Structure 1
């Protein structure tokens, strides 16, 4: 996924080369593979519309995006179910796993009449498990429900099934995690015009189905809210979330990310910034050695960084969520309360940061990879099938 080495690490050269190769591709399989690669490269080049056109073309030729290398030496095989969209629509599982796992990505658009054919395709691939990798998104409800049905009807062990992905919408998580000691989920409502029932300010507001901070804003009063909705399209639906100031005693903000694999939290990264609106890319951790040292401590020994009450709150979350694999962004308030920012099934986990700058990361991501591999292997060794209600049944 996104290997630019053969193109001098230049996505523009990659895109143009792939387009030339596409003109001479002789088989449907070759064309599908090139369209899937162009879906990636066009996004990197900033042309999402072209990327989605290539994805549509690839799905028509072959709805299964196949491994680049023969899988004869792979130790396990998994089918990953994705919904059409940009990089943010699905968890990029190939960025986490390596060649020890053969990954077949099946793209599900929710087209009527395709279910039986896709179920048979899954069966023929003989995977150890099927993973639903899409993020919660109301625009994708039809495709997600179809993916659930395909996974269930395949008779293969299903990870992240049971209809649970749609339950982690921002507006539903506060109820899911209510009453966990030491944990706060800011209240979140879905609002729309005429916006006559807004929660109390200050609020964090974003369009429903947005991700990665797109159009996210802190709104302190009604005048600012009206200006924001006018600029973003007042006819839409928005999440309005209570703003919780999670600033630390040193006047910095810290956003932690973990992923849960079978209920165990594994650190992914820590972003530290002087602004509440933190994403890893804008924290510029590469510029701050002391902040990287703190991140290393978090990633290498999470139980030594957090108090027992924070760890207890973390471990209480998976049973409420009910997913096999998901991510969590959170902060810790000065009184030790864990504040939940987001629960997401499409979070990126990768091992592509520079070892020279982040020498501690590779081993930590490897732990996540091994845990994920172990989860797949348990499915294979147990001979698990899945009942109509999504519950795992051991043969």
Structure 2
């Protein structure tokens, strides 16, 4: 049973958004790293500085070193503050995070940038769990991901959720449904929505397939060549490949050492002009918002490899997509998006999707940790800042609405 909230014992940090922005804009993080290392060597570093050093190391490509530092810091301190710009915040949000790499928790700092909301992040650590007395907050949100490394964190929060003293968003029992091999089951049968079955396949099964002992359909009914394969547990396109035939599968297995994979049928979603268009949407309080549109001549698109900054024509199309989103894309897929939002049940999540050749919403994945940011240079992407501010405003309005409902419920129960 959780005790009533108390005055928080937090440590301040620069935080994810500011440090990532410095790196994104080409700033040199080495001087900051040396300064933080010197503070640690002198024994004068605060816990928040240790966590900043962990993130700096990861941003400099030293992931393992950064995670070692993070785990060491979190072993003795779990609560951190990212200050807002105002001396007296309107709301205090408590984010419940896991000890994982910098992409494993919702980057909520970007969503709160420039707002009058203060962010406290509480890391729920294996063997430590939640504190007996929670830090004072108006609303809480689970930011840990659906990855296997976060399972214990989510389980601890889920156990405490029924007695949480404030509104709790993105409830932990729903986050696990975003797993690649669970999401398609959750979304199956939605009219106007296409999501390929994503199945777990082992190296042994692939070997049997190559030997002719089993067929593709024995792994999952709709599977055939060409297929999409990726190692289980990887993200950001690591190990992702389109496998056209048995020879390509054999070559892929020589390159990869993993034993477990995800496999799905390949959907050729190229438009009539031969280009592929992939969309990222933010679902905030049940409503879709456009995050970006990537256009490329390759099926395995993410925004960086679409090179949008180098094509005025592509950017013009993305601008129209954003400006006309409510009356265009969102209107075309309203019923599918509404039903998906209901089934997922999360207050905030991200969808990567496209349109198949039948005009249906083709869903690739959904998660709660994809980065939604306002770092792109306005000189190149003048249409993005207004759109990002719209998403941030919707997110903060959602927090305010739930916090107000929580306060009213508390007043009624006290009366």
Question: Does TM, normalized by the shorter one, top 0.5?
Answer: yes
Find the counterpart in structure 2 of residue 212 from structure 1. 236
- 5 Å matches for 1:128-167? 128-161=138-171, 163-167=173-177
Find the counterpart in structure 2 of residue 389 from structure 1. none
Q: Secondary structure at the match of 1:49?
A: helix
Q: In 1, distance between residues paired with 2:247 and 2:379?
A: 48
Deviation at residue 80 of structure 1 after TM alignment: 0.7
Deviation at residue 100 of structure 1 after TM alignment: 1.3
The answer to whether the 8 Å contact 1:81/1:134 transfers is: yes
Query: Which residue of 209, 226, 233 corresponds with 2:257?
Result: 233
Q: In 2, distance between residues paired with 1:103 and 1:366?
A: 18
Query: Which residue of 289, 310, 315 corresponds with 2:333?
Result: 310
Q: Structure 1: 5+ residue runs without aligned partners?
A: 387-391
Find the counterpart in structure 2 of residue 245 from structure 1. 268
The answer to whether the 8 Å contact 1:190/1:238 transfers is: yes
Find the counterpart in structure 2 of residue 102 from structure 1. 118
Find the counterpart in structure 2 of residue 221 from structure 1. 245
Residues 3 and 374 (structure 1), Cα distance of their counterparts in 2 relative to 1, 3 Å cut: closer
* 1:183-220 residue CA offsets vs partner (Å, 9 max, x unmatched): 10011101113114433221111112211111111112
Query: Which residue of 326, 329, 333 corresponds with 2:356?
Result: 333
Query: Which residue of 184, 190, 195 corresponds with 1:185?
Result: 195
Find the counterpart in structure 1 of residue 106 from structure 2. 91
Q: Secondary structure at the match of 2:204?
A: coil
* 1:283 matches 2:306: yes
Q: In 1, distance between residues paired with 2:68 and 2:237?
A: 25
Q: In 2, distance between residues paired with 1:33 and 1:144?
A: 23
Q: In 2, distance between residues paired with 1:35 and 1:101?
A: 24
The answer to whether the 8 Å contact 1:157/1:385 transfers is: no
Identify which range, 187-196 or 223-232, moves more after superposition.
223-232
* 1:291-337 residue CA offsets vs partner (Å, 9 max, x unmatched): 11111122222133337442322222101111110000000123211
Find the counterpart in structure 2 of residue 10 from structure 1. 28
Q: Secondary structure at the match of 1:304?
A: coil
Identify which range, 376-385 or 290-299, moves more after superposition.
376-385
Name the count of aligned residue pairs: 380
Residues 358 and 200 (structure 1), Cα distance of their counterparts in 2 relative to 1, 3 Å cut: same
Q: In 2, distance between residues paired with 1:346 and 1:247?
A: 27
Identify which range, 144-153 or 309-318, moves more after superposition.
144-153
Q: In 2, distance between residues paired with 1:303 and 1:72?
A: 36
* 1:208-238 residue CA offsets vs partner (Å, 9 max, x unmatched): 221111111111223322332342224x211
Q: In 2, distance between residues paired with 1:173 and 1:6?
A: 35
Find the counterpart in structure 1 of residue 294 from structure 2. 271
Q: In 2, distance between residues paired with 1:61 and 1:50?
A: 18
Find the counterpart in structure 1 of residue 204 from structure 2. 194
Q: Secondary structure at the match of 1:291?
A: helix
The answer to whether the 8 Å contact 1:128/1:379 transfers is: no
Q: Secondary structure at the match of 1:96?
A: helix
Query: Which residue of 14, 19, 22 corresponds with 2:40?
Result: 22
The answer to whether the 8 Å contact 2:84/2:116 transfers is: no
Find the counterpart in structure 1 of residue 373 from structure 2. 350
Find the counterpart in structure 1 of residue 6 from structure 2. none
The answer to whether the 8 Å contact 1:139/1:209 transfers is: no
Q: In 2, distance between residues paired with 1:2 and 1:163?
A: 27
- 5 Å matches for 1:166-181? 166-181=176-191
Q: In 1, distance between residues paired with 2:362 and 2:196?
A: 7
